Structure 1
Amino acid sequence: MTASAARGFPAFPPQRAGARFATTWWGRAWVQAMEDTSLDHKLLRKGRAYAKTGQLGPITVSPGRLAAVAESEYDTVVRVEQLGDAAWERFLDQVAAKSGHIAALLDGDMPHDLVEAAADAAVPLLPAVGDLEPECGCPDWGHPCKHAAALCYQASWLLDADPFVLLLLRGRGERDLVEALQGRDAPAPSTRAAPAGVPVAPAYAAGVPALPEPPPADVPRTLPTWAPAPGVDVAALAGLAASAAARARELLLRGRLPELTEHQDHVRLAAEHDLGLGGLPDAAVQAWRYGGADGLDALENAWTPPRRDVARAQALLEAAWEDETRPEVRIWRNRWTLGSLQLRYGRDGRWYPFTLREGDWWPAGPPERDPAALLS
């Protein structure tokens, strides 16, 4: 076992009311994997309270294992499957393929494209539903119990601060990875002609190759220009051409485009390319800029969310007011009103904030999966 095989972290002190878990995208993915596994929202709520009030002792992170002592008597452990040697080699290939990856990790960032490239190479870094295995000595039957849930919530703070914590849980620490990368030289370009074929055994042993990088986002776009002509709005025509080019690029990168109604497409054009198409309310354009088609739907349509989603949102909001007087919440379908603030649950699983403006509800910011994060 190397010196980097285990790391210890001091116990978290009690946090202020309304403190958030997981502010990074990879930290939120960790929390979501744990929450989506749980079927007991009361235990999750208690776990959040335990995490915020400092009910856990120091945390130890080691390969495949996250551990702490809860309430000074219960040994609480969350296990994560470790990656094998072959998977680590494929991961190192992905890190070494782009010079900025290791710099981003050392700077406390987990690049999206690195995680996606690793997944394409059959190297799962982020946990999915059921990947976190909790164990605890307490009498709770929950999966996870409130102590294991609290440990996962506090671990999201560790992951926010240092993505190498996630890599250590998967089997290797920062020192191991940096040393492995330092000893890995990029292959020199060959001047020999390519052979006519490759033997089958080496081809299979090479594993799944990495996908090529997508086209860079900053490629200058050259659009046609038109001379003024009777009955032709040249500025609008240029905007439509820019929109078509952007949609073509998105289709190239993603392989598909969401289907839009004529109304949605009009709003999209007005929001993304400042095309004044007439008859569109400003709120619709602003809703699109914050959340696209889902944000527009949250503005224009009311619907009834599943009971499980409602229960989870209620638990999140209650946890945010552990030590404060909870304001009155008026609930109508997917719209929850708290005084001059209204939270609308979108069909995409995110909450959209709205504020009163001259008697109407106006989109107030980008959406969040945790409604408590919008209270400020």
Structure 2
Amino acid sequence: MSGRWGWDDWGHPRSRPVKAEGGIRSQSKRGAFGESWWAKRWIQVLEGFDIGARLARGRSYARKGQVLSITIENGKVTAKVQGSRPKPYNVTIEVKTLSKSDWAKVLDALGRQALFAAKLLAGEMPQEIEEVFTEVGLSLFPAKLGDLKTDCSCPDWSNPCKHIAAVYYLLSEEFDRDPFLIFTLRGLGREALTSRLGSAPPAPVTAPRPVEPLNARVEIFWGESGVQIEDSLGAVEIPREPAALARRLGGFPFWRGETPFLDALSPIYASASPRGLDVLLGPAAQAE
């Protein structure tokens, strides 16, 4: 009935947002946001704070591309969201960060879990990592609504408003690309995390591995003189899959072009590969 009188289901007057140009559109067109377990966990945690109904108001804004920009730093997210007024609204989301002593406890616990540390150093998020935080009396994700401080320059009295909620949803998709963002929001960036994990004392080794003896023939050890490039580098050829390394690195942050970033990059790699081979081996080598 509220829609008949020009009001939405939350008691706010209906108004259409100004169409945004070049905004960040969500990957999700319908249904849930986020694909990885940690992205889904982010939304699950927020909904657990009994703000699910208010969160839902931001879905259409996220899908329409009304969020113009998002900046993420330690414990803080700032964004500009185009609403129904000509001037975009300023959104700020502050997440309670863990103290240095708290992070020391977490890193010490992670250091004792060799598999977890190895996965993190490889850029992966272990699914049981929340248990490590729980063991030291902490939480990876915000534990209560008070761990989040949000503000928007819009006139809406509710918090989160639809502009804040839209940023929440887009953050979940950015977690898919970079799981370390949740660490950044809790006060420890990716470089600092991996650096401190990498400097941790190695786990004790029960028995050393046998070392393969060096070849006694000097010419074999150092390689015969006049070794060809193909021999020293192995088979040099154009990759079957364009932009394979870029695909391993993942998508570009908040890329929302009409063509997916890696799909747009692949033709460039495909045209650059033959040129690179010419430079390395010479045009005649490819013709052979």
State TM-score, norm by structure 2. Answer: 0.56
What's the counterpart of residue 114 of structure 2?
Answer: 99
- Cα-to-partner distance string for 1:64-109 (whole Å, 9 max, x where unaligned): 1111101152110111110111111111112212222233235553
Tell me if the contact between 1:38 and 1:144 (Cα under 8 Å) persists in the aligned partners. Answer: no
Measure how far apart 1:11 and its partner are.
Answer: 5.3
Distance in 2 (alpha carbons) for counterparts of 1:111 and 1:134: 29
Amino acid at match of 1:35: E
CA contact (8 A) 1:105 1:163 kept: no
Find out whether 1:47 has 2:58 as its counterpart.
yes
Q: Answer yes or no: is the 8 Å Cα contact 1:94–1:114 preserved in 2.
A: no
Secondary structure of the structure 2 residue equivalent to 1:177 = helix
Counterpart amino acid of residue 17 in structure 1: K
* Amino acid of the structure 2 residue aligned with 1:34: L
1:160-185 deviation per Cα after TM superposition (whole angstroms, max 9, x unaligned): 22111000111111111122122221
Match of 1:57, SS state, is strand
Shift of 1:51: 0.9
Gaps of 5+ in 2: 1-21, 206-288
Matched with 1:149 is 165
Q: What secondary structure is seen at the aligned counterpart in 2 of 1:66?
A: strand
Q: Evaluate the alpha carbon distance shift between residue 17 and residue 113 of structure 1 in structure 2; reply closer, same or farther with a 3 A threshold.
A: closer
Indicate whether 1:123 and 2:135 are aligned: no
Please point out which of 13, 32, 46 is paired with 2:44. Answer: 32
Q: How does 1:352-363 map to 2 (within 5 A)?
A: none
Residues 16 and 92 of structure 1, relative CA distance in 2, 3 Å threshold: closer
The one-letter amino acid paired with 2:65 is G
Alpha-carbon shift at residue 159 of structure 1 (Å): 1.2
CA displacement at 1:25 relative to structure 2: 2.0
Q: Which amino acid aligns with 2:29?
A: A
Residues 1:66 and 2:43 are matched in the alignment: no
User: C-alpha deviations, 1:283-318, integer Å up to 9, x for none?
Assistant: xxxxxxxxxxxxxxxxxxxxxxxxxxxxxxxxxxxx
Aligned-pair Cα RMSD in Å: 2.4
Of 112, 116, 120 in structure 1, the residue corresponding to residue 127 of structure 2 is: 112
CA contact (8 A) 2:121 2:197 kept: no
> In 2 relative to 1, CA 117–45 (structure 1 residues): closer, same or farther, beyond 3 Å?
closer
TM-score when normalising by structure 1: 0.44
Q: Which residue of 1 aligns with 2:14?
A: none
Aligned mates of 1:29, 1:74 — CA distance in 2 = 27
Q: Look up the match of 1:165.
A: 181
Higher RCO (CA < 8 A, seq sep 6+) = 2
**Alignment pair present for 1:77 and 2:88:** no
User: How many angstroms apart in 2 are the aligned matches of 1:141 and 1:28?
Assistant: 27
Task: Supply the distance in 2 between the matched residues of 1:24 and 1:81 (Cα, whole angstroms).
Answer: 23
Offset from partner CA, 1:220-271 (integer Å, 9 cap, x none): xxxxxxxxxxxxxxxxxxxxxxxxxxxxxxxxxxxxxxxxxxxxxxxxxxxx
Percent of paired sites with the same residue: 33
CA contact 1:15–1:54 (8 Å) conserved in 2: no
Q: Distance in 2 between matches of 1:18 and 1:30?
A: 18
Match for residue 181 of structure 1 among 190, 197, 200: 197
Q: How many residues align?
A: 179
Residues 277-292 of structure 1 correspond to what in structure 2 (within 5 A)? Answer: none
User: Structure 1 residue 151: deviation in Å?
Assistant: 0.6
Write the deviation string for residues 198-223 of structure 1: whole angstroms up to 9, x where unpaired: xxxxxxxxxxxxxxxxxxxxxxxxxx
